[in-house]
Each structure stands twice: as C-alpha cells, then as structure tokens.
Amino acid sequence: MKNIIIFSFLLATVSFGNSLKIDIQNKGLKGVAYLSLYENSDSFLNTSKAFKNIKFELKDNNTSLVIKDIPQGEYAFTIFVDENNNGVLDTNVFKIPKEPSAFSNNYKPKFKPSFKSAKFSIDNTAESIQNIVLK
C-alpha cells in the first residue's frame, strides 16, 4: 500500500510537458493559417519534419493559440496565412513569401531564415509566451 501511495505522489508531480502561448496580431487578416513548430535547425522550414503542425482560423485582429505538452528545449516556429487555400506558403522565384507570414521572436530575415535567429527556449518554470505581428 505504501508503494502505491509513493507512486501516486510521483505520478502527480511529473510534468507531462510545458505550454507555449502565441498571441498573434493579424491586423484584419482572416482565413486559414498554418503554424509549424520546429525543435532543431535540421528540421527548420521542412514541415514534414516539424515537431508540430497546426492549422487554425484567424480571428479579427488578434488570435491566440496555446500549444501544450512541449518538452523542455529550444524551438522556432513559422506562421503563414493561406490566402489561396492551397495548403502551402506561396513564394516568388527568390523564395520570398507572397502570403502574410511571420517567425518566432518576430524575426525578420533579410536572406534565408535561420533557426538560430528564430529560436526561443521552453523550460519548466512557466508558460512561454510569444507575441507575433503577422504581415
């Protein structure tokens, strides 16, 4: 019986993951958007290797997302509005997005985006919050 009580106590104190809250200022943009959360530079910008891919609907001017059960570590994310509903971020010949998009940390790359510049940390101390302006 004593072992069951100890096991129950340990189970109750184990963290099953952390959460990330993303507050998005979408300045009147509406429609379907996609978020891809990456956990390393090897997977960055490859949605098939993303830690999580989330499809969501933008609300008027501000949209909030909460992603739960994220292990402690370093992450980066991308968001784009799928204006033509084809499920992919459309770019021009220079790979510059034609549709509204954003990176974590409000990182605005001048050249090829990097995980290092967009990364942030998730730890066990509190909910992580990212405030993003989608343009």
Domain 17-133 has CATH 2.60.40: yes
Contact criterion met (CB below 8 Å) for 102 and 135: yes
pLDDT digits (tens, 9 = 90+) for 21-70: 999 999 889 999 999 999 999 999 999 999 999 999 999 899 999 999 99
pTM of the model: 0.85
SS3 state at 63? strand
Contact criterion met (CB below 8 Å) for 26 and 62: yes
pLDDT digits (tens, 9 = 90+) for 80-134: 999 999 999 999 999 899 999 999 999 999 989 999 999 999 988 778 999 999 9
Instruction: Compute the residue count for the chain.
Output: 135
Question: What does the alpha-carbon distance between residue 9 and residue 11 come to, in Å, rounded to a whole number?
Answer: 5
Kindly state the average pLDDT of the residues 7-15: 44
Lowest model confidence (mean pLDDT) among 4-8, 55-59, 73-77, 94-98: 4-8
Predicted confidence at residue 5, as pLDDT, reads: 47
Task: Give the tokens for residue 16.
Answer: 């099953």
